[in-house]
């Protein structure tokens, strides 16, 4: 009996020790929730709050969440439930974002948390974007620890990418991380739909180095007049050197009945952009297409030859075409 009691005691001891040592890796239900008060919100009467991160400007009653499912009113204070709870942590090639004029062949430390302020029927990451923080598994990482991980030799990343879901919904975490990353010499990339209010955007862009996204869907945003207006706006407001990516749509999520974007539609969109005066126009999600390459706007020779996420040759030297000396706008080192 004594031996059995001793056995039970030792077993319990080691179970407790194992539990303590692996606390950070237990399922979500066993971890202690860490709340973060949201930025850019307004307290209203009757303990209502109004979030001002994105144009929805949700008015949230006590005990309820905003449209994104991430911001909750607890007793008249708005909390971000997804802060530091990362549902995706990956190392990606920079070309996947897609970014073609930004540190070619480098790696980006890509992260996301759950939730989104849109309900796109074609979302390719709907399993995490259309879920709330309490519906998914996650790993908790403080901003300073994330920056350290991105800088490790094993990671070998030059940038942190806020991506996969809409980064606007984890704005506070992105902002704090971006500040630390900038101090440590890392670049910050936001892969976004751009659905954010002006004030939080003004604060964020102090620390951003690149932001992108453009998907072409047949019958939705492939109208030539619409594409022309967009390209002219880009040229007039951002400049003719601004790279523009037309990415091919593939059936996904709730839009599986729609066919992939025809190649000729993408090629037509690209030609419209070139005719509008944009110098660097690309077609994405179509590996092996000639419009994946970067061409010199002066001598027309291939500067960067790509196939998917791989670079086959790079003829840009010190930010210039090595054949004719034309300056090529971008972040090359």
Tens digit of pLDDT for each residue in 155-164? Answer: 789 999 999 9
Q: Looking at 113-122, 164-173, 210-219, 297-306, which range is the least confident one?
A: 210-219
Say which DSSP state 75 is in: T
Element (H, E) at 276: none
Rounded to an integer, what distance in angstroms lies between the CA atom of residue 231 and that of residue 237? 10
Are 283 and 291 a contacting pair, CB within 8 Å? Answer: yes
pLDDT the model gives residue 211: 82
Rounded to an integer, what distance in angstroms lies between the CA atom of residue 295 and that of residue 73? 51
Rounded to an integer, what distance in angstroms lies between the CA atom of residue 68 and that of residue 57? 11
pLDDT the model gives residue 4: 44
Count, residues in the chain = 333
Rounded to an integer, what distance in angstroms lies between the CA atom of residue 192 and that of residue 211? 7
Per residue in 129-162, pLDDT tens?
999 999 999 999 999 999 999 999 877 899 999 9
Helix 224-237 with 263-275: angle, nearest 10 deg: 40
Average pLDDT for residues 85-101, to the nearest whole number?
95
Rounded to an integer, what distance in angstroms lies between the CA atom of residue 187 and that of residue 150? 11
Look up the pTM and report it.
0.86
End-to-end C-alpha distance for the chain, whole angstroms: 71
pLDDT the model gives residue 33: 58
DSSP assignment of 144-175, as one string? HHHHHHHHSTTT-EEEEEE-SS-GGGGHHHHH
Rounded to an integer, what distance in angstroms lies between the CA atom of residue 77 and that of residue 139? 25
More confident residue, 294 or 8: 294
Rounded to an integer, what distance in angstroms lies between the CA atom of residue 90 and that of residue 108? 8
Average pLDDT for residues 89-110, to the nearest whole number?
95
Q: In percent, how much of the chain has pLDDT > 70?
A: 90
- Residue found under tokens 């862009």: 205
Whether pLDDT at 263 is above 50: yes
Positive or negative torsion for Cα 18, 132, 215, 246: negative
Instruction: Pick the closest to residue 24 from 84, 109, 112 (CA basis).
Output: 84
Q: Looking at 27-36, 120-129, 174-183, 197-206, which range is the least confident one?
A: 27-36
Estimate to the nearest angstrom the gap between the alpha carbon of 119 and the chain centroid.
Answer: 16
Cα separation values, 59 from 32, 42, 53, 79, 82, Å? 28, 9, 12, 14, 19
Element (H, E) at 322: none
Are 231 and 210 a contacting pair, CB within 8 Å? Answer: no
Per residue in 36-83, pLDDT tens?
999 999 999 999 999 999 999 999 999 999 999 999 999 999 999 999
């Amino acid at each position: 009996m004594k031996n059995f009691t001793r056995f039970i005691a030792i077993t319990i001891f080691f179970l407790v020790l194992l539990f303590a040592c692996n606390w950070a890796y237990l399922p979500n239900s066993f971890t202690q929730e860490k709340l973060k008060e949201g930025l850019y919100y307004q307290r209203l009467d009757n303990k209502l709050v109004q979030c001002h991160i994105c144009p929805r400007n949700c008015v949230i009653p006590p005990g309820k969440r905003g449209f994104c499912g991430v911001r909750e009113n607890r007793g008249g204070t708005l909390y971000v439930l997804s802060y530091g709870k990362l549902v995706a942590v990956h190392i990606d090639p920079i070309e996947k974002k897609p970014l073609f004029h930004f540190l070619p062949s480098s790696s980006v430390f890509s992260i996301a948390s759950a939730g989104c302020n849109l309900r796109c029927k074609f979302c390719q990451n709907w399993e995490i974007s259309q879920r709330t923080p309490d519906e998914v598994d996650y790993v908790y990482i403080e901003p300073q620890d994330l920056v350290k991980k991105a800088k490790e030799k094993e990671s070998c990343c030059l940038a942190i990418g806020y991506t996969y879901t809409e980064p606007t919904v984890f704005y506070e975490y992105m902002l704090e991380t971006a500040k630390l990353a900038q101090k440590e010499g890392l670049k910050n990339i936001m892969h976004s739909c751009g659905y954010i209010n002006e004030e939080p955007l003004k604060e964020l862009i102090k620390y951003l180095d690149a932001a992108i996204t453009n998907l072409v869907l047949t019958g939705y945003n492939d109208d030539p007049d619409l594409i022309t207006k967009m390209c002219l706006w880009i040229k007039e407001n951002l400049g003719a050197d601004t790279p523009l990516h037309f990415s091919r749509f593939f059936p996904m999520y709730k839009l599986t009945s729609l066919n992939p974007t025809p190649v000729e539609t993408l090629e037509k969109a690209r030609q419209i952009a070139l005719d509008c005066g944009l110098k660097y126009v690309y077609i994405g999600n179509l590996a092996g297409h000639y419009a994946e390459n970067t061409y010199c706007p002066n001598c027309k020779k291939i500067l960067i030859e790509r196939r998917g996420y791989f670079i086959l040759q790079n003829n840009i030297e010190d930010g210039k075409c090595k054949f004719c000396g034309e300056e090529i706008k971008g972040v090359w080192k």
